């Protein structure tokens, strides 16, 4: 990629990492994507210490990634659910899983993530161009906002 870089303080990646925290936050999200909702379920599934789980759930709620809901049938019980902001992390989670399969475990993950409609495995997460082409590392550069082509620019150039 090109040499242009924004200062670290202006980059959105550190802000995203601050929201997510670390390994346990991702594993809590994984469990939530897989249908777990209750503190005890997370604790049992992950084998995480209760104080760490409480801290990480609190952080995910504080950052708007998950929400706490009181269960109507038993007001003493709390359910945790992904918000739209949390669900938007699904492509990131899938990309990390696929990366781990390729570079760390070197074996396909089990179970396999498939499209519910036709039960076929999902594609690799890729960086796509505006017109859907898969882009590689040599296809990408950094640009300042004034140097970014817009759809209306392309329409004028074609006219």
The model's pLDDT over 106-156, given as tens digits with 9 standing for 90+, comes to 998 888 999 999 999 999 999 999 999 999 999 999 888 889 998 765 555
- Model pTM score: 0.81
When pLDDT is cut at 50, 70 and 90, the band that residue 17 belongs to is: confident
Residue 39 parent element (H or E): helix 39-46
Q: CATH fold of 1-88, please?
A: Arc Repressor Mutant, subunit A (1.10.10)
CA distance 50 to 7: 38
Ranges of each domain in the chain = 1-88
CA distance 77 to 59: 19
Residue 73 pLDDT > 90: no
Q: Which two tokens stand for residue 10?
A: 């202006």
């Amino acid at each position: 990629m090109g040499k242009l870089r924004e200062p670290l303080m202006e980059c959105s990646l550190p802000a995203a990492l601050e929201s997510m925290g670390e390994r346990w936050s991702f594993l809590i999200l994984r469990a939530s994507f897989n249908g777990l909702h209750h503190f005890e379920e997370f604790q049992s599934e992950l084998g995480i210490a209760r104080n760490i789980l409480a801290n990480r759930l609190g952080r995910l709620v504080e950052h708007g990634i998950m929400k706490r809901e009181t269960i109507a049938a038993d007001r003493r019980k709390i359910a945790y659910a992904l918000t739209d902001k949390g669900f938007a992390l699904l492509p990131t989670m899938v990309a990390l899983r696929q990366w781990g399969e390729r570079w760390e475990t070197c074996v396909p993950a089990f179970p396999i993530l498939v499209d519910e409609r036709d039960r076929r495995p999902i594609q690799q997460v890729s960086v796509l161009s505006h017109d859907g082409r898969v882009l590689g590392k040599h296809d990408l550069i950094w640009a300042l906002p004034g140097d970014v082509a817009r759809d209306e620019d392309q329409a004028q150039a074609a006219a």
